[in-house]
């Protein structure tokens, strides 16, 4: 995974039913091999999925460094962490994570960034959708919200 030439997976993409973790793995893999570009492994979004799965980011990064492929890491994360969550817990996480909107100081940052990326997309109110827009993915139009 070379994030100087391509994007990590979308927050929406699922690994064994769970959103966000694929993107996090992509960034860890890119960091391990020196081509993470402008991305950050263990950013607040990564920290949230690490907390949900009870993953130590440093230990996962060490495992990534020894892995032969991204698929190997996905399998490890699935067996060691995702499998310990019920389907209901995963669905609740996915729903909350994909619908989470910024608040407080991060709201100002979010709106400024959205205005730079796509000022006409006031319907975009979540980080997941904003990242997809920024990375040139299609984001469906929604009713305009108040963010």
Please report the pLDDT score of residue 147 as a whole number: 53
pLDDT, tens only, 73-100: 999 999 999 999 999 999 999 999 999 8
Query: Which of these, 74, 28, 17, 122, lies nearest to 8 by C-alpha position?
Result: 28
Query: Which of these, 84, 80, 38, lies nearest to 59 by C-alpha position?
Result: 80
The structural domains of the chain, with segments of one domain joined by +, span 14-99, 101-147
Is the model's pLDDT at 144 over the cut of 70?
no
Is the model's pLDDT at 113 over the cut of 90?
yes
pTM reported for the whole predicted model: 0.90
Beta bridge partners of 19: 14
Give CA–CA dist 55/116, Å, rounded: 34
């Amino acid at each position: 995974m070379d994030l100087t030439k391509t994007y990590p997976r979308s927050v929406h993409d699922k690994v064994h039913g769970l959103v966000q973790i694929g993107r996090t793995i992509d960034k860890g893999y890119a960091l391990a091999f020196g081509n993470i570009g402008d991305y950050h492994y263990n950013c607040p979004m990564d920290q949230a999925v690490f907390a949900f799965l009870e993953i130590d980011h440093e230990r996962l990064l060490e495992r990534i460094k020894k892995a032969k492929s991204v698929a190997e890491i996905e399998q490890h994360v699935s067996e060691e962490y995702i499998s310990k969550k019920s389907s209901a817990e995963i669905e609740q996480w996915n729903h909350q994570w994909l619908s989470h909107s910024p608040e407080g100081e991060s709201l100002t940052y979010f709106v400024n960034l959205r205005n730079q990326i796509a000022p006409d997309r006031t319907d975009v109110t979540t980080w997941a959708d904003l990242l997809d827009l920024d990375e040139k993915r299609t984001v469906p139009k929604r009713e305009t919200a108040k963010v």
